[in-house]
């Protein structure tokens, strides 16, 4: 076997002097990377299985599944509406109102609509709504399904001939997709309104008609299509990731916290990836 060169030994010694242990870091990073790949592969497989069930059994047991979807929409949408409206008001006052005032100061008030559409409609709206759903409902889903798995309720469903993916996952996927989309729309509307309110309080000479006309002119049909796809996509990501983390392994009490953290981190990474894809689409479209 070839001896390590003198230069590589000295580099290793130097790193150790400053508290670095190259081999252990490589092992740690490699281990993390392998776990991340395994989790990603499991998530994709789980997502495809869920999609397969939705496609092949769209109307199966609808009398049971539809009320469950309704429950998920109420839980992830209706009950979170006050929180989303509060965030929208805060964001409108803190950010959007200031932005409108600044644009006026530099004489770029004609760009208000374009900036609003780029900042609020395309980016902030779906992301804020998705994070609210993830933190308030997604984390609960991990614990709920993890407990169900640990208590053997998944096997109990299987024993009754009830497909656990159809009964537990599909309603959450559809419910969270619809809820995230709905919350996004409400968030955007509330942010735009509260932003204008702040600008009005700052005596910005911009009439409501002019403000909303500029926004309407900046919006294209593509914004509506991509906004819907993006917001629903975020909802699907939350449902798939949290259901996967909850159902993949039976959770012990000590596993709940790290598994929930993994679900939040994995969802956030998936949000960023999906967001990047949509930015590319916006750029390609023009």
Partner 1 sequence: MSNSASGETLVELRAASVAGGPLASPATVEAVDWAICAREVWVVGGLPGTGKSQLLMAAAGLLPLAAGQLVWRGRAFADMTSNERIELRRRIGFVFSDGGRLFDHLTVAQNVGLPLTYHRNCGWDAVAEDVSRLLDVLGISALADARPRQMTRNHRQRAALARALALRPEVLFLDNPPRRAGCPRIALAPQLPRLLDGPRQSLSHPQGGGGGHR
Task: Give the binding range for partner 1 (CB under 8 A) out of 13-21, 83-91, 146-154, 260-268.
Answer: 146-154
Q: Where are the beta strands (DSSP E) in 195-271?
A: none
Query: If binding is defined by CB under 8 A, does position 158 make contact with partner 1?
Result: yes
Query: If binding is defined by CB under 8 A, does position 63 make contact with partner 1?
Result: yes
CB of 63 to partner 1, least distance (A): 5
Query: If binding is defined by CB under 8 A, does position 110 make contact with partner 1?
Result: no
**Nearer residue to partner 1 within complex by CB, 127 or 170:** 170
Among positions 15, 151, 216, 222, the unique one binding partner 1 when judged by CB under 8 A: 151
Query: If binding is defined by CB under 8 A, does position 159 make contact with partner 1?
Result: yes
Contact 215, 125 (CB under 8 A): no
Helix (H, G, I), strand (E, B) or coil at 18: coil
> CA 38, 43, 45 angle in degrees (round to 5)?
95
Task: Give the binding range for partner 1 (CB under 8 A) out of 34-42, 109-117, 148-156, 177-185.
Answer: 148-156
To the nearest 10 degrees (0 to 180), the angle between helices 253-285 and 125-133 is 170
Query: If binding is defined by CB under 8 A, does position 161 make contact with partner 1?
Result: yes
**Nearer residue to partner 1 within complex by CB, 10 or 62:** 62
CB of 64 to partner 1, least distance (A): 5
Q: How far apart are CA 242 and CA 233, in angstroms?
A: 14
CB of 170 to partner 1, least distance (A): 13
Query: If binding is defined by CB under 8 A, does position 95 make contact with partner 1?
Result: no
Query: If binding is defined by CB under 8 A, does position 105 make contact with partner 1?
Result: no
Neighbouring residues of 230: CB distance < 8 A, sequence distance ≥ 6: 126, 274, 275, 278
**Nearer residue to partner 1 within complex by CB, 27 or 156:** 156
Tokens of 96: 């959007």
Q: How far apart are CA 202 and CA 32, in angstroms?
A: 50
Query: If binding is defined by CB under 8 A, does position 34 make contact with partner 1?
Result: no
Contact 196, 91 (CB under 8 A): no
Tokens of 15: 């790193």
Q: How does DSSP classify residue 207?
A: -
Residues lying near partner 1 in the complex (CB under 8 A) are found at 60-64, 151-153, 155-156, 158-163, 167
């Amino acid at each position: 076997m070839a001896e390590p060169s003198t230069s590589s030994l000295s580099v290793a010694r130097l790193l150790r002097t400053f508290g670095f242990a190259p081999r252990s870091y490589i092992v740690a990073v490699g281990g993390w990377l392998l776990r991340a790949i395994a989790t990603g592969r499991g998530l994709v497989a789980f997502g495809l299985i869920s999609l397969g069930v939705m496609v092949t059994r769209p109307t199966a047991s609808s009398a049971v599944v539809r009320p469950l979807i309704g429950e998920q929409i109420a839980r992830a949408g209706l009950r979170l509406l006050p929180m989303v409206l509060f965030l929208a008001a805060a964001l409108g006052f803190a950010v959007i109102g200031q932005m409108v005032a600044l644009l006026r100061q530099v004489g770029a008030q004609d760009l208000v609509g374009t900036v609003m559409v780029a900042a609020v409609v395309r980016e902030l709206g779906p992301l804020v709504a998705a994070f609210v759903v993830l933190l308030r409902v997604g984390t609960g889903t991990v614990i709920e399904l993890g407990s169900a798995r640990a208590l053997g309720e998944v096997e109990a469903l299987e024993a009754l001939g009830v497909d656990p993916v159809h009964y537990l996952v599909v309603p959450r996927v559809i419910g969270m997709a619809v809820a995230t989309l709905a919350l996004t729309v409400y968030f955007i509307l509330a942010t735009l309104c509260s932003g204008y309110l702040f600008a009005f309080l700052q005596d910005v000479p911009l009439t409501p008609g002019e403000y909303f006309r500029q926004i309407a002119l900046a919006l294209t049909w593509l914004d509506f299509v991509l906004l819907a796809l993006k917001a629903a996509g975020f909802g699907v990501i939350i449902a798939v990731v949290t259901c996967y983390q909850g159902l993949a392994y039976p959770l012990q009490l000590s596993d709940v916290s790290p598994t929930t953290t993994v679900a939040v981190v994995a969802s956030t990474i998936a949000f960023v990836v999906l967001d990047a894809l949509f930015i590319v689409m916006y750029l390609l479209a023009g």
